[in-house]
Amino acid sequence: MTVSRLVGSMASQVDMDPSSASVTLSSIQSALNDIQPFIHRTPVITSSTIDCLCHMNILMKCENFQKVGAFKIRGATYAIHSILSRGINPVDLTVVTHSSGNHAQALALAARQMGVRCHVVMPLNAPSVKKEAVQGYGAVVTFCEGTQAAREETSKLVMKEEVLRAGGSGVVEFVSPYNDTRIVTGQGTIAVELLSQATDMHKPLDILVTPVGGGGMLAGCSLAAKALNPSIQVIGAEPLGADDAYRSFHTGSLQPSTNPMTIADGLRTSLGSITYPIIMKFVDSICTVSDEGIIRAMRLVYERVKVVIEPSAAVPLAVVLYSEEFKVIAKTVEEGVGRKPNVGIVFSGGNVELDKVLALFASLDK
């Protein structure tokens, strides 16, 4: 395989025509079966304190308890499984990606579990705990500046180098952190699990709220949730300082994230050409919340729920607590169902540097 073909292959994966997306409920359910040996079925927990504060029944899907401490292992595992299903020998495959942390960790671990080589491009400003974890899982890491352009350009250079290293017999494939139908399919398994668990708890979901950055989770979960329950309201939760998804949703055209300023480092990425049209089709609204709200929600979870989550994971609860737009949606749902709504939120990850978390909590008291 030539360098030019590989670089072209990567570009088509990153900028794939949305019309080529083939994510369906059936493909998501099949993906869940394929990846089950490699992931955890994460628990759903409740808190009477949280319910009282929100005036709703809140079901918290704990992907912070997932392997690598984040939901990203689902999409990463399914992506590699899909590549290998084409008859490729694991020892001949190298997967490449760029990520600030959780997707990098996930792809690195999934590759190690399946006997595949992994090369990750990471921004220098990624949290140290995430950098160390990626290297600990055995990935080759190249660092770059913190911009999206730097990530993409460095990834192209790495792809060329990996093609040359692999020679004529190896396969080198780029796996986007979010803008990839395989990633969207894998992340959609969260909703399939959560809706089933909520029904088992006799609290079928009326509303589902997930974080949104690049949109892989929200796209996959919204598609799956609407297919399983067309009446469910699906809401994306986004930091106010990185509101490209909110702007894209409300303007009807894809808006870039030009200078995101938020503590939720996992949600600074723009929506992609694959995730955006799925979100526009299946998501009911996107709500934003300030960094202060995110910190308050995170501290509430630490103090009252007793679990560790990262800032990005706190955004859905922060939206439920503090977004006036969300409260209007919830009130409408409550009037329709005649009871307090059952709201599922996804704690997307728990990879944090504790000293920084303590500093964030201390900032609330100044």
Active centre residues (catalytic): 72, 100
Structure tokens at 327: 């409260």
Smallest Cα–Cα separation from 62: which of 234, 341, 266, 308?
308
Dihedral angle of Cα 116, 40, 68, 223, to the nearest 10 degrees: 90
Asked if 151 and 144 count as a contact pair (C-beta separation under 8 A), the reply is yes
Strands 44-45 and 57-62: antiparallel
Q: Which residue bears the tokens 């630490």?
A: 302
* Residue 168 three-state SS: coil
Smallest Cα–Cα separation from 315: which of 328, 296, 302, 337?
296
Smallest Cα–Cα separation from 219: which of 252, 189, 251?
189
For CA atoms 318, 77, 219, 276, give the dihedral sign: positive
Residues 6+ apart with CB under 8 A from 324: none
Strands 117-123 and 171-174: unpaired
d(CA 272, CA 45): 31
Q: What secondary structure letter does DSSP report for 84?
A: H
